Amino acid sequence: MDFEAVIGLEVHAQLLTKSKIFCSCPTAFGHGDNENVCPVCTGLPGALPVLNKQVVDFAILTGLALNCKIQKHNIFARKNYFYPDLPKGYQISQYEEPICLGGKLTFLVDGNEMTVGVTRIHMEEDAGKNTHHGEFSLVNLNRSSVPLLEIVSEPDMRTPKQAGEYLRALRSVLLYLGVCDGNMDEGSLRCDANVSVRTRGAEKFGTKVELKNINSFRFVEKAIEYEIGRQIDLIEQGQKIVQETRLYDPDKNRTVGMRSKEEAHDYRYFPDPDLLPLRLSDEWIDGVRKQLPELPYEKMNRFATQFGLPRYDAQILTQSRDLAQYFETAVKRSNNPKGTSNWIMSELLRVLNDQKKEVADSPVNADQLGDLVRLIDQGQMSGKIAKGIFEDLAAGKFSNKTVEQIVKENGLVQVTDTKAIEAVIDKIIAANAGQVEQYRSGKDKLFGFFVGQVMKEMKGQGSPTVVNDLLKKKLKGE
């Protein structure tokens, strides 16, 4: 039988607010256990929550970026369950009337455009954290009531790859908006996947399994792929899929049953009587709309059109706002979009990756990179010298100096003096009589060999344009 998978993702994004969602405790990471707590976020009786406006602004901004309809009337609900890291015995979330409904996200999968529906976005608080130490366990409530957005997609994806690209695109949007740091390793972006399979062409969905807390970017596609295979095997053996929550074990690359899936009614959701319904005015929403930046997908399309770049390049360059900004600054200096893109993708990203640095901390700044590309184009510098300067900059040499200063101070000035270059060419021609003969009898490819020899002799400092011109003439015997 021919099967297809149906995949939807629920993403939890921790918001970059300074304080928690219902109290003024800091959200900062790395403080001592239970240092960032107060009566509200430890759930003491009688303590009352007060909503953090920044959380609402971030939720609206995210909703607008994902083309959602912002609900002017929305309510907070209590989601009741017991767990030691949840002292109140309920989590404040949104249920029936969330802040955003009905959006979409467009992105590329293998170069083809894909649009996935966004069902809803709601605001909620995080729980604390349990750590287990042999015979006892400890509860740290620093994370209790840190604000989260839950972004729920439609079950529009059919392959693990599509799910992976959706998550990458969503992360990129959140980073552009500055609402979340997108760090999956530290848990500030978490992903659950709903996966089911059905025979291709069937309308009815199969029984879905929820994969919980896939906490690494690399594992999203692997976990879903494993789960699809597991479900297909069961169906082919004539067994039923059980609706349940499963955990992905990255060490063994498999999913393990955790608990049978609870239904919404198990949580006894009801409106939180301590929080008024949230009413949003048009002015409020419009005010947030003004903060919307150009988003990754729009920027990618603009880069492709405005700079005539392949979409592949444009997609990589717009992965982050900082990298896109770096490119635009460098192009202003180089006036060569494709050349600049090549240098960024092959050289700069390699260096940043090796040094585990962000673009903002790049050892080679955008002006320097743009200047190197321009000087090569203008024939004032060989590619070899430019690479050398780039590597020196990457290693921390010459920091804050312009390329012009570096060239001057290090005697890297191009030799454009035709007499000096002619002398070298004559020497090379005399020393390679055999190759000269082959070249003159039609072996054009040897031209590169002569350029190489001349450049070697001149330690890379000959002007490539002048060397090329003179070599052509001399080899013709002119």
Q: Which stretch binds Zn ion (CB under 5 A): 11-19, 23-31, 235-243, 371-379?
A: 23-31
Closer Cβ to Zn ion, 4 or 85, answer by number: 85
**Nearest distance in Å: CB 19, Zn ion:** 8
21 binds Zn ion (CB under 5 A): no
Structure tokens at 6: 């149906």
Could you give the CA distance from residue 182 to residue 219 in angstroms, rounded to a whole number? 15
Quick one: angle between helices 418-431 and 464-475, nearest 10?
Answer: 50
Closer Cβ to Zn ion, 23 or 167, answer by number: 23
**Nearest distance in Å: CB 85, Zn ion:** 15
38 binds Zn ion (CB under 5 A): yes
25 binds Zn ion (CB under 5 A): yes
41 binds Zn ion (CB under 5 A): yes
State the number of binding residues for Zn ion (CB under 5 A). 5
Closer Cβ to Zn ion, 87 or 187, answer by number: 87
Closer Cβ to Zn ion, 41 or 151, answer by number: 41
123 binds Zn ion (CB under 5 A): no
Could you give the CA distance from residue 350 to residue 364 in angstroms, rounded to a whole number? 12
386 binds Zn ion (CB under 5 A): no
**Nearest distance in Å: CB 141, Zn ion:** 8
**Nearest distance in Å: CB 121, Zn ion:** 24
Q: How many CA atoms lie within 13 A of 210 on its CB side?
A: 16
Structure tokens at 125: 């608080």
**Nearest distance in Å: CB 74, Zn ion:** 23
Q: Which stretch binds Zn ion (CB under 5 A): 32-40, 108-116, 317-325, 341-349?
A: 32-40
23 binds Zn ion (CB under 5 A): yes
Nearest to 284 by CA among 48, 93, 74: 74
Closer Cβ to Zn ion, 123 or 386, answer by number: 123
Closer Cβ to Zn ion, 8 or 128, answer by number: 128
Q: What is the DSSP letter of 88?
A: T
Residues with Cβ within 8 Å of 312's Cβ and at least 6 positions away in sequence, in order, are: 111
Closer Cβ to Zn ion, 38 or 345, answer by number: 38
The string of DSSP codes covering 379-441 is: TSS-HHHHHHHHHHHHTTTTTT--HHHHHHHTT---B--HHHHHHHHHHHHHHTHHHHHHHHT
Over the window 176 to 215, marking each residue x when it contacts Zn ion by CB under 5 A and - when it does not, the resulting string is ----------------------------------------
Closer Cβ to Zn ion, 84 or 257, answer by number: 84
**Nearest distance in Å: CB 241, Zn ion:** 42
**Nearest distance in Å: CB 84, Zn ion:** 18
**Nearest distance in Å: CB 184, Zn ion:** 26
Closer Cβ to Zn ion, 146 or 359, answer by number: 146
Q: Which stretch binds Zn ion (CB under 5 A): 30-38, 289-297, 335-343, 435-443?
A: 30-38
Nearest to 168 by CA among 125, 114, 131: 114
Residues with Cβ within 8 Å of 364's Cβ and at least 6 positions away in sequence, in order, are: 348, 351, 390, 393, 394
Could you give the CA distance from residue 461 to residue 413 in angstroms, rounded to a whole number? 7
Q: How many CA atoms lie within 13 A of 215 on its CB side?
A: 8
**Nearest distance in Å: CB 131, Zn ion:** 20
Q: Which stretch binds Zn ion (CB under 5 A): 24-32, 47-55, 151-159, 382-390?
A: 24-32
**Nearest distance in Å: CB 76, Zn ion:** 17
51 binds Zn ion (CB under 5 A): no
**Nearest distance in Å: CB 178, Zn ion:** 24
Q: Which stretch binds Zn ion (CB under 5 A): 38-46, 81-89, 224-232, 374-382?
A: 38-46
The string of DSSP codes covering 158-223 is: -SHHHHHHHHHHHHHHHHHHTS----TTTTSEEEEEEEEEEETT-SS----EEEEEE-SHHHHHHH
**Phi-psi region at 89: left, alpha or beta (left = phi > 0; alpha = psi -120 to 50):** left
Closer Cβ to Zn ion, 40 or 56, answer by number: 40
Q: Which stretch binds Zn ion (CB under 5 A): 25-33, 115-123, 221-229, 453-461?
A: 25-33
Structure tokens at 158: 């059919």
**Nearest distance in Å: CB 17, Zn ion:** 13
Could you give the CA distance from residue 413 to residue 403 in angstroms, rounded to a whole number? 11
344 binds Zn ion (CB under 5 A): no
Could you give the CA distance from residue 282 to residue 452 in angstroms, rounded to a whole number? 67
For residue 433, which amino acid is it?
A
Please list every residue from 302 through 341 that binds Zn ion, using CB under 5 A: none
Could you give the CA distance from residue 99 to residue 314 in angstroms, rounded to a whole number? 33
Nearest to 297 by CA among 318, 275, 316, 324: 318
> What are the residues binding Zn ion (CB under 5 A)?
23, 25, 38, 40-41
